[in-house]
Amino acid sequence: MLDEPAKPMTILIFGNPDLLQDSVPLKILPRLSKQFPKIEFKVIDPNEDWSIPEDITVIDTVINIKEPKIFSDIESFSLPPRLTMHDFDALTNMKYLKKIGKIKKIKIIGIPPEMPEDTVLEFLTATLRSSQP
């Protein structure tokens, strides 16, 4: 029996191009995609339906960190206040999908909001290279 071809790694990218402190993952995406053509980078809107694998890797801005950090669970994060459906964000959606079993394993690569783009790109390049087989 032949082995199925390996599925390409998919990395979810979150960010808001309209907010300076939340736009770095989106700004560096073209350079990151060029360096890692075998990785599928998907920009995800937190308020849309997600079609994602059970094991996910996420790149997102994380408030209150000074250096990039890798998180292996979503329980490390506190939920922001939610007053309307517009406040239903990525973290809320990931917690929900984990609770109902749609996400089995998660790795979040957190980027500090004030970090320069080139520094973020260097960190992500080293992190992604070390995680590839």
User: pLDDT (tens digit, 9 = 90+) per residue, 71-90?
Assistant: 888 777 665 544 444 345 77
Question: Does any domain span residue 55?
Answer: yes
Task: Tell me what pLDDT residue 25 has.
Answer: 92
Return the number of other C-beta atoms located less than 10 Å from residue 46's C-beta.
16
Domains of the chain: total: 1
The CATH number for 119's domain is 3.40.50.1450
Tokens of 60: 């997102």
Q: Residue length, the chain? A: 133
- The more confident residue out of 121 and 53 is 121
Let me know if residue 4 belongs to a domain.
no
Residue 52 domain-assigned?
yes
Q: What is the pTM of this model?
A: 0.81
Boundaries of domain holding 98: 10-131
Cβ within 8 Å of residue 20, ≥6 positions away: none
What is the percent of the chain with per-residue pLDDT over 90, rounded to a whole number? Answer: 33
Would residue 70 count as lying in a domain?
Answer: yes
Q: Which residues contact 116 (CB under 8 A, 6 or more apart)?
A: none
